[in-house]
Structures are given as C-alpha cells and as structure tokens.
C-alpha cells in the first residue's frame, strides 16, 4: 500500500464531506448534525484506509 492510494482516498472523501455537510445543514439547520456527519465520515474513512493497509501487508 503506497501513500498515493491513501492520499487518493482522502481526496475522494472530500466530495461526500462537502455535499453531505451541505445536505445535513439544509435539512437540520444545526451545526451539531453537520459535525456528527463529518465524524462518522472520518471514522468510515479511517476504517477503509486501515483495511487497505492490512490487505497490503498480507500480500507481502
């Protein structure tokens, strides 16, 4: 697993972060909902990246 893959995943997660944050703000109009969405997205992103690194270690 190289750094380019992890960086690409980070770039890819920007779109759901911005769009999702805007949708949560539109529907709830509270910053708490937006922050909760961002924390959930950050958690999912860390799971994807950690699983990617574990799979790369198994192949070597």
25 Cα distance to chain centroid: 18
pLDDT of the residue at 3 = 83
At residue 34 the predicted structure's pLDDT band, cuts being 50, 70 and 90, is very high
Predicted confidence (pLDDT) per residue in 37-54, tens digit: 999 999 999 998 888 877
Average confidence (pLDDT) over 22-50: 95
Cβ atoms 17, 40 nearer than 8 A:
no
Closest by Cα among 12, 3, 2, 1 to 45: 12
pLDDT of the residue at 30 = 97
d(CA 46, CA 27): 26
d(CA 17, CA 40): 10
Can you give the residue range of the structural domain that contains 25?
Answer: 3-59
Q: What is the mean pLDDT of the chain?
A: 89
Question: What's the domain count of the chain?
Answer: 1
* Entry pTM: 0.77
């Amino acid at each position: 697993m190289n750094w380019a893959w992890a960086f690409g995943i980070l770039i890819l997660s920007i779109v759901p972060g911005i769009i999702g944050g805007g949708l949560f703000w539109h529907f709830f109009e509270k910053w708490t909902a937006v922050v909760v969405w961002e924390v959930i997205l950050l958690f999912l992103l860390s799971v994807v990246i950690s699983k990617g690194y574990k799979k790369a270690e198994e192949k070597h």
